[in-house]
């Protein structure tokens, strides 16, 4: 049987895979920090013979080219893809060998035009299916990343690809998608289950239980939401061939240099928790806590190519942040500093703002509330009279906001904390509502319009 090791990248909502027969290994859609893959290969004594890309990724920089180069494996990329490096070009119907395993290539256009899925089998047991951004758990990958004018065309292709793929394998075949675990590359009723089979998907997947193609297309297109701006840079980087990954510690930044960068308006990002940042931070910095969605939010907000300096409580916080950032191609860090605000820059002004919850907001009926959730989230329910600016648009709309103290909220408090730091950096008075929106209660119950 084909053994599959799963590498979870929760920060981006993606998964990579190592399929093996005990000796030979096939790696599918590796993230750029390939040391994780190399650790599995070493631990299990595997020789990587193939590195497979299901598509040119839009949500992260691939580690496939570097992994193939380091291991001597063939780098398998769709033959219709325009890339600037040597690869083993494959197309629908091709068959590859890796040890005792056979890899069958299936064209599954939709998520991208040249998207491929791979059916891997050996002499024993059922095959396994690596579906990339095509067939996901419960739904399929989004279809608006290639060209906005081709969304309906690609959605129809996605529908047909999913149905064709499941017709090629038995119900007990295990399914291993790359997206669908919180990635913005997924859409529809995607669920974050830890595993699934083709048979399970036949019973619940949007593309498989809906026999009306027009109905499927209409619902999927209507459900498409905004996606991070950094996506625009990922595919070009992947087509060009990413530079060698660098996970080294950024050079230390002394207090004088840090003060100069802040004064120059550079991005100096504090990685501490949102409550620690609110309690005390360096004026002119931005608070983006090193949590699960750190890189997504920073990548979405940071003007591409802007000098970036990191502030952390300890060296591990800096190295963890660097790992997340290289996955997005944010390689050139200006530097880093470790310690509390008074340690890293004792002569820079320190600021603070209040942190509260929705129960407190209910006692302040005069408060001006700023909702920084996405449009689709606000459309489900929102606080009547609140101002709405999605976090990813805040920097360009900050001058349009009321001059009052702004009580900022999102779904959980995380994005609100980033917004509060940006507002504080701009000299605005803010109160951070660090609370779950479910606790808004009667503030939102009566207002469920757009």
CB 268 within 8 A of CB 281: no
Nearest to 318 by CA among 302, 334, 306: 334
Cβ atoms < 10 Å from Cβ of 45: 10
Residues in the chain, how many?
Answer: 450
Q: What is the pLDDT of residue 450?
A: 34
206, pLDDT greater than 70: yes
Q: What pLDDT digit, counting tens, does each position of 6-51 carry?
A: 999 999 999 999 999 999 999 999 999 999 999 999 999 999 999 9
Where helices occur in 142-230 by DSSP H, the ranges are 151-166, 198-204, 206-209, 213-222
Residue indicated by tokens 């910095």 = 285
Please give the Cα distance from 341 to 349 (Å, whole number): 9
Domains of the chain: 3-240 (3.60.15.10), 255-351 (3.40.250.10), 354-445 (3.40.250.10)
pLDDT digits (tens, 9 = 90+) for 264-279: 999 999 999 999 999 9
Q: Give residue 446's pLDDT.
A: 45
This prediction has a pTM of: 0.94
Band (pLDDT 50/70/90 cuts) for residue 439 is very high
> Which of 69-73, 187-191, 200-204, 333-337 shows the lowest per-residue confidence on average (mean pLDDT)?
187-191
**What is the phi/psi pair of residue 368, to 5°?**
-90, 115
pLDDT in tens, 121-174: 998 889 999 999 999 999 999 999 999 899 999 999 999 999 999 999 999 999
CB atoms within 10 A of CB 216: 22
- CB contact at 8 A, 144 and 229: no
Q: What is the DSSP letter of 404?
A: S
Kindly give, in sequence order, each residue whose CB lies less than 8 Å from that of residue 98, ignoring residues fewer than 6 positions away.
21, 24, 25, 26, 49, 50
How far does CA 411 lie from the centroid of its chain? 18
| Calpha distance 184→12 (Å, rounded) | 8
192 band by pLDDT with thresholds 50, 70 and 90 = low
Instruction: Please answer whether residues 18 and 95 qualify as being in contact, where contact means their C-beta atoms are separated by less than 8 angstroms.
Output: no
Give the pLDDT band of residue 190 (cuts 50, 70, 90). Answer: low
Question: Comparing C-alpha atoms, which of 190, 189, 196, 149 is closest to residue 172?
Answer: 196
User: What does DSSP say about strands 387-388 and 368-371: parallel, antiparallel, or unpaired?
Assistant: parallel
Q: pLDDT per residue over 62-86, tens digit each?
A: 999 999 999 999 999 999 999 999 9
pLDDT tops 70 at residue 188: no
To the nearest whole number, what is the mean pLDDT of the chain?
Answer: 95
Euclidean distance between CA atoms 186 and 355, whole angstroms: 33
pLDDT digits (tens, 9 = 90+) for 412-428: 999 999 999 999 999 99
Strands 430-433 and 354-356: parallel
* Beta-bridge partners for 95: 104
User: Residue 346 above 80 pLDDT?
Assistant: yes
pLDDT digit string, tens, across residues 362-384: 999 999 999 999 999 999 999 99
């Amino acid at each position: 049987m084909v053994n599959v090791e799963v590498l979870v990248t929760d920060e981006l909502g993606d998964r990579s895979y190592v399929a093996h027969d005990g000796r030979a290994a096939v790696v599918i859609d590796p993230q750029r920090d390939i040391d994780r893959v190399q650790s599995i290969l070493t631990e299990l004594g595997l020789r990587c013979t193939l590195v497979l890309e299901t598509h040119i990724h839009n949500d992260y920089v691939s580690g496939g080219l570097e992994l193939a180069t380091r291991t001597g494996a063939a780098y398998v990329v769709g033959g219709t893809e325009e890339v600037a490096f040597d690869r083993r070009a494959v197309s629908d119907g091709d068959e590859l060998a890796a040890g005792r395993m056979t890899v069958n290539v299936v064209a599954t256009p939709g998520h991208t035009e040249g998207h491929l899925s791979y059916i891997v089998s050996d002499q024993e047991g059922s095959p396994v299916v690596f579906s990339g951004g095509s067939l996901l758990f419960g739904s399929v990958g989004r279809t608006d990343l290639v060209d906005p004018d081709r969304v309906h065309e690609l959605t129809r292709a996605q529908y047909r690809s999913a149905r064709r793929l499941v017709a090629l394998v038995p119900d007990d075949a295990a399914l291993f998608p790359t997206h669908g675990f919180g990635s913005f590359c997924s859409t529809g009723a995607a669920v974050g289950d830890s595993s699934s089979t083709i048979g399970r998907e036949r019973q619940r997947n949007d593309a498989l239980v809906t026999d009306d193609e027009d109905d499927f297309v209409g619902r999927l297109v209507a459900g498409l939401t905004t996606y991070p701006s950094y996506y625009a840079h990922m595919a070009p980087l992947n087509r060009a061939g990413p530079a060698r990954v660098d996970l080294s510690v950024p050079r230390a930044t002394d207090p004088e240099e840090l003060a100069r960068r802040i004064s120059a308006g550079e991005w100096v990002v504090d990685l501490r928790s949102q409550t620690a940042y609110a309690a005390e931070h360096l004026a002119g910095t931005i608070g983006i806590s090193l949590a699960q969605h750190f890189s997504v939010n920073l990548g979405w907000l940071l003007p591409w190519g802007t000098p970036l300096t990191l502030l952390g409580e300890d060296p591990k916080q800096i190295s963890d942040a660097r790992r997340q950032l290289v996955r997005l191609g944010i390689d050139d860090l200006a530097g880093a500093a470790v310690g509390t605000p008074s340690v890293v820059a004792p002569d820079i002004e320190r600021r603070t703002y209040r942190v509260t919850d929705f129960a407190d907001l209910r006692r302040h009926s005069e408060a001006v509330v700023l909702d920084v959730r996405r449009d689709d989230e606000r459309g489900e329910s929102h606080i009547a009279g609140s101002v709405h600016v999605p976090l990813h648009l805040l920097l360009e709309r900050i001058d349009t906001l009321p001059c009052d103290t702004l009580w900022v909220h999102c779904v959980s408090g995380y994005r609100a904390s980033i917004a509060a730091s940006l507002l504080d950096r701009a000299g605005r008075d803010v109160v951070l509502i660090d609370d779950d929106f479910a606790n808004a209660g009667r503030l939102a119950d009566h207002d469920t319009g757009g």
